[in-house]
């Protein structure tokens, strides 16, 4: 991960975060697979100023550049808990950046400042039973009523949905499938009519809470609108690029973690009088894995550089997300294979990584959606 875009200051912070992850998170990751991680982790990281590394000081951040978010995502994979990493990423790299960019000063002071301190946790309400990437097809409805809006509908597969204190909610405020009718709201969970319908069971990411949310005549003030009424689709398209860039960076780090675990295992595991890493077939597996990881890293870092220059590199971010998601699944599967039967056991971290990594080809946009976006950016559609 020694890349020229990281400075000595970045490297020092990386060391601090790495020590925190190793001492305060990793020892508990196996237990969290059963009962979920405690929300106090957010507060603790807020106390250490880890949540706001790349946020302005006026909202409780440290004023650093986006690379601090990158190195946080990279180091968090060493926690051994994909569920924690995902829940944290939703909060710090999906919900709060959108409020920072489109929110009013009052919203920033209320949600961003408290969110960076770990005092409140956010979730992102997009997906519904009949709508995911097709945002224009959402049915959650917000109807104007004087100085308020009344919201009705439901959301599905919502990360942090159980523990969240508020939801960045995607609604329709106009009839029809037009993107002009989408509006974002900041909705506090304590409001009457906002309920968690059920906590969902998943293939992976067991430490994370995923929920179905219901909105039954939830009344919110006009001041709860995030950004402009009817412009939510465009605001959300910006958020999705940030989300996908985070997914690409985290995906590379996750693949590297699986590689490192497999390499350590192969140096210790004996077979036919030799350690496993001495067999040519295994050495070649590592050569292929390392090459794929490096390709993914450079693709992701290239997108990071363009994003930091103030651009909106949709094509590059989408390519990075697509490639890394597929690459990470291949690499992690090989890492499990190198572990042999041990890799299929819950006591080995690689088995958790294998389960968790499969989500990367679905979350933040499926492979198929990524390819369609890339095709459009190439002028093929």
51-63 pLDDT per residue, tens: 999 999 999 999 9
Question: Cα–chain-centroid distance for residue 167?
Answer: 15
Q: Please state, in angstroms and rounded to a whole number, the distance separating the CA atoms of residues 37 and 205.
A: 11
What percent of the chain is predicted at pLDDT more than 90? 94
Token digits of residue 226: 């995030």
Q: Please state, in angstroms and rounded to a whole number, the distance separating the CA atoms of residues 164 and 123.
A: 6
Query: What per-residue confidence (pLDDT) applies to 381?
Result: 86
349 included as an active-site residue: no
Q: Provide the CATH number for the domain formed by 234-377 in this structure.
A: 1.20.140.10
Q: Which of 74, 75, 243, 316 is catalytic?
A: 243
Give yes or no for a contact between 368 and 322, defined as CB atoms under 8 angstroms apart. no
What percent of the chain is predicted at pLDDT more than 70? 99
149-176 pLDDT per residue, tens: 999 999 999 999 999 999 999 999 998 7
Indicate the SS3 state at residue 367: helix
Residue 347 has pLDDT above 80, yes or no: yes
Mean pLDDT of the chain, nearest integer: 96
State if pTM tops 0.85: yes
Query: What per-residue confidence (pLDDT) applies to 46?
Result: 98
Q: Return the domain boundaries, the chain.
A: 8-120, 123-230, 234-377
What is the third-level CATH fold of 8-120? Butyryl-Coa Dehydrogenase, subunit A; domain 1 (1.10.540)
Residue 134 has pLDDT above 90, yes or no: no
Q: Please state, in angstroms and rounded to a whole number, the distance separating the CA atoms of residues 154 and 140.
A: 6
Q: Provide the CATH number for the domain formed by 123-230 in this structure.
A: 2.40.110.10
Q: What Cα–Cα distance (Å) separates residue 80 from each residue in 26, 258, 261, 306?
A: 6, 10, 11, 30
């Amino acid at each position: 991960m020694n890349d020229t875009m990281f400075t000595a200051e970045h490297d020092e912070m990386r060391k601090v975060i790495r020590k925190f992850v190793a001492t305060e998170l990793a020892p508990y990751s196996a237990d969290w697979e059963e009962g979920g991680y405690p929300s106090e982790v957010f507060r603790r990281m807020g106390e250490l100023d880890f949540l706001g590394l790349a946020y302005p000081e006026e909202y409780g951040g440290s004023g650093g550049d986006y690379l601090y978010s990158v190195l946080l995502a990279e180091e968090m994979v060493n926690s051994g808990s994909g569920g924690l990493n995902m829940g944290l990423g939703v909060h710090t790299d999906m919900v709060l950046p959108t409020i920072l960019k489109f929110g009013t000063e009052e919203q920033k002071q209320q949600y961003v400042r408290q969110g960076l301190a770990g005092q409140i946790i956010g979730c992102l309400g997009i997906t519904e039973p009949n709508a995911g990437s097709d945002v224009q097809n959402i049915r959650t409805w917000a109807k104007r009523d004087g100085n308020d809006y009344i919201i009705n509908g439901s959301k599905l597969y919502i990360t942090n949905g159980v523990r969240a204190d508020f939801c960045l909610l995607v609604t329709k405020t106009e009839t029809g499938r037009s993107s002009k009718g989408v509006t974002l709201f900041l909705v506090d969970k304590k409001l009457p009519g906002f309920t968690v319908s059920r906590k969902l069971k998943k293939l992976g990411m067991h430490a994370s809470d995923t929920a179905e949310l219901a909105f039954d005549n939830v009344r919110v003030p006009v001041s709860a609108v995030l950004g402009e009424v009817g412009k939510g689709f465009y605001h959300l398209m910006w958020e999705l690029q940030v989300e996908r860039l985070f997914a690409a960076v985290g995906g590379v780090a996750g693949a590297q973690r699986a590689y490192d675990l497999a390499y350590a295992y192969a140096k210790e595991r004996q077979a036919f009088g030799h350690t496993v890493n001495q067999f040519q077939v295994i050495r070649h597996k590592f050569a292929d894995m390392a090459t794929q990881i490096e390709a993914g890293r450079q693709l992701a870092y290239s997108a990071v550089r363009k994003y930091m220059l103030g651009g909106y590199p949709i094509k590059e971010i989408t390519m990075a997300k697509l490639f890394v998601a597929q690459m990470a699944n291949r690499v992690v599967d090989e890492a499990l294979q190198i572990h042999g039967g041990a890799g299929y056991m819950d006591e080995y971290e690689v088995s958790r990584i294998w389960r968790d990594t499969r989500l990367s080809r679905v979350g933040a946009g499926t492979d198929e959606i990524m390819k369609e976006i890339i095709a459009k950016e190439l002028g093929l559609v």
